[in-house]
Structure 1
């Protein structure tokens, strides 16, 4: 495996003139984080859409539009948890106790949801790791089930799969490699088993997490029973209570699911060809979302600002800048975009490549006392790609030339089947057959309230933009039929 690529002979990294620097890009990140919790059906989602349209038009893009498609908003208005009368700190599991039968993926609909005026009171059963043997030994019918939520994709797995790793200062240490990101977990398997065996509700212990229960993961369909998150410390407290006998728990969850449109902001810069390079991120967030994904959105703005400063004849291909939401509610915006701009017959504009930018993050670990430790260095990040060998080389050179340390290039065609999907915002475009180059990192706090402005790794904002100018320039100069792998 190549570990790095040499810098130019003079040792200097050459920024493309006119590319916004880290300070400018960070100002856009800061603006976006002021629109906190930019999910569908929120005032701040509307504000962020308006902000992005204004920015793109301010750069000189004349073809700026907003595509809407049906999505929803899930909101918990009240929750509670007690075990044998002892109050337990917690947070609602988003999308649990989904209501009704409607048009959305998973067969869920709209309306209020509730465990009733007195909540759900039932016997409490601990199934530990939630393995088949754990369920086989437990009678959970009509009971509230507790299990350990585990993160199952450690950094080590991605590092081992890398075709190219840029770590010139040898900062990768064995102590870092066992930390797993919160994207892939055992959640769906365990909850599906609990529902199948008649559980009335569940409590998920964040066993691999820092001392927080403020996590909001991506949309999971078919969670027909109520669920709550608790910290590892709270889970240990519940287990201490359980040692005194068969405990009784009361779980309460109330809220509403509401139909609402998802909004995709699209800006187009015509080039010398109608063949189009799509540059993408998502603008919504569960919380303040400094890393997820104000940072990725600001990188897309940076590329739009740069390329709009060029004359049309300096753009060999058309560029389309795409900022989606519904990242948290089932990706309806992403699916609609693909149907409209990729799979629809007879399109005058043909998307020939996708570039996706997400999560310019500081590295984080769980400290010895369970606290979140954040380091002033970049989180490990991957570039998933399925492009031709010359473009792979161009990626490697851009990463090295602009100093994107701790970056791993990964073969998307090989890894997506193993992971079950491409674990980035580009998944639906990738599945539609578009050659993709997708930058992403998965810091531990990615889905947490702790994802605030200070978690963004500001020194890399400008270098990421400059590296991807180089990459986009190579895509634009490559004959379209030679882009894919």
Structure 2
């Protein structure tokens, strides 16, 4: 059962608007935070908001620590990798060169760093986290663990096949990071592991990581608009418009931004109980700067809840990370059950995604995404995050379900209680506590 009128449902399942917005975003090319393409992407969203009839469309600029890619290389033994499809720098890395014995630490779990002497070494870790570990281990945590163990260089090997070196932030709020860092593909990583790591039996080959890049201050921007009545309380529907510089950023997170604009267009045709504010944040990929900026500039008591859309688009199978907000997760279940569509739910708190800037303050916030085969990001953060991997029918289906969820959470009689900062602090997995402290993002006084 849909909460939208039949005319709006028909519009949702036949419209090409979300796809056209997504096409415009990927056509921008590089939407790296703080660079010209991110500004162009923000303008694409402004135009989409205006076409959808939303009001009070605004762009809000703010300062961030920017990063610009230069050349990178990895030399191990007699082999030197210089091509972009072989080795690429990780944003937040410093410029520099580091040489040391080459050592692989497998998944890069805490115990993997404790079991070997890594002082003065160049350390390689996989992007994969084992299914039975209990929580996903972010690349930044592996990078920081390597640096803390005395490593002089870091190599991040993809676990997804396709000759795709991964990118991704390692500096976060401690930019630039302490040691040079690059990504290599699963295939390159397997060859390096096979030919150059000797395990504990004998000394590994010598490796040199070289990175040329710039770390400088620049500006990013958020784009926002509102639909519905002028109520004191409001629902936020959000996504991030920035993407890594090596790809189109179609699924991560062009699709999410296109969905935010489409949801706004559909909701303009619906009578809402509560105002809905639609926001596309800048600078998610390098430290959630856009979300933090918005949260710090507004009274969060007026935010009823936040629905953040990230990684939605590669299928119509919807998932939601509830961050422990039972009532908000229950609303997703109520809506999807009524519409007879499947829902996957993850209940633990996750500090990954723009919703974290609100979760940490106790604002009910979730991440909505698509469920698909495979582990980790899939094509995300690689050259292969391209439009051809997505399907307009999936965007239409997601826009319909998510619009119904927004209408439901905006119901005046539906209560979605906030939590205290203390409650959130107590619910965070201790592994994530360590990650947040390591990345300079721990928001609580001890």
TM class by shorter-chain length? 0.7 to 0.9
Counterparts of 2:190 and 2:369 in 1: how far apart (Å)?
Answer: 34
1:114 aligns with 2:96: yes
Q: Partners of 1:288 and 1:332 in 2: how far apart? A: 21
Give aligned pairs, total.
Answer: 399
Unpaired segments ≥5 residues, structure 2: 371-375, 419-446
Cα deviation, residue 17, structure 1: 5.5
Do the aligned residues in 1 keep the contact of 2:284 with 2:353 (CA within 8 Å)? no
| Residue correspondence of structure 1 range 315-394 to structure 2 within 5 A | 315-343=272-300, 350-362=302-314, 378=316, 381-384=319-322, 394=331
Distance 2:13 2:182 in 1: 43
1:214 lines up with 2:171 in the alignment? no
Cα RMSD over matched residues?
Answer: 3.2
Measure the CA separation in 2 of the matches of 1:61 and 1:133: 51
| Counterparts in 2 of 1:387 and 1:131: CA distance versus 1, 3 Å | closer
**1:386/1:249 Cα in 2 relative to 1: closer, same or farther (>3 Å)?**
closer
Q: Report Cα offsets for 1:258-311 as digits up to 9, x if no partner.
A: 21112000112350522211111111111211111111111111121123345x
1:461 is displaced (CA, Å) by 1.7
Q: Aligned runs of 1:51-450 on 2, under 5 Å?
A: 51-88=44-81, 90-98=86-94, 113-115=95-97, 120-130=98-108, 135=113, 138-152=116-130, 184-185=136-137, 187-206=139-158, 208-221=159-172, 222=174, 223-242=177-196, 246-286=204-244, 287-309=247-269, 314-343=271-300, 350-362=302-314, 378=316, 381-384=319-322, 394-402=331-339, 404-405=341-342, 407-411=343-347, 415-416=348-349, 421-441=350-370, 443-450=377-384
- Which residue number in structure 2 is paired with residue 32 of structure 1? 25
How far, CA to CA, are the matches of 2:258 and 2:99 in structure 1? 47
Question: Following the alignment from structure 1 to structure 2, what is the Cα–Cα distance between the partners of residues 54 and 204?
Answer: 38
Q: TM-score, normalised by structure 1?
A: 0.72
Of the candidates 407, 425, 428, which is equivalent to residue 473 of structure 1? 407
Q: Distance in 2 between matches of 1:269 and 1:152?
A: 43
What's the TM-score once normalised by structure 2's chain length?
A: 0.78
Residue 210 and residue 404 in structure 1: after superposition, are their counterparts in 2 closer, same or farther (change >3 A)? farther
| Pair member with larger Rg | 1
Q: Look up the match of 1:180.
A: none
Q: Which runs of 5+ in 1 are unaligned?
A: 1-6, 99-112, 159-183, 363-376
Deviations 1:147-191 (A, max 9, x none): 34432457x979xxxxxxxxxxxxxxxxxxxxxxxxx33644443
- Equivalent residues of 1:125, 1:138 under 8 A apart: no
Name the CA shift for 1:17/1:70 in 2 (closer, same or farther; >3 Å): same
The structure carrying a bigger strand percent of its residues is 1
Note if contact 2:39-2:220 (Cα within 8 Å) is conserved in structure 1.
no
Shift of 1:94: 1.5
- d(CA) in 2 for partners of 1:306, 1:360: 18
CA distance in 2, matches of 1:25, 1:91: 34
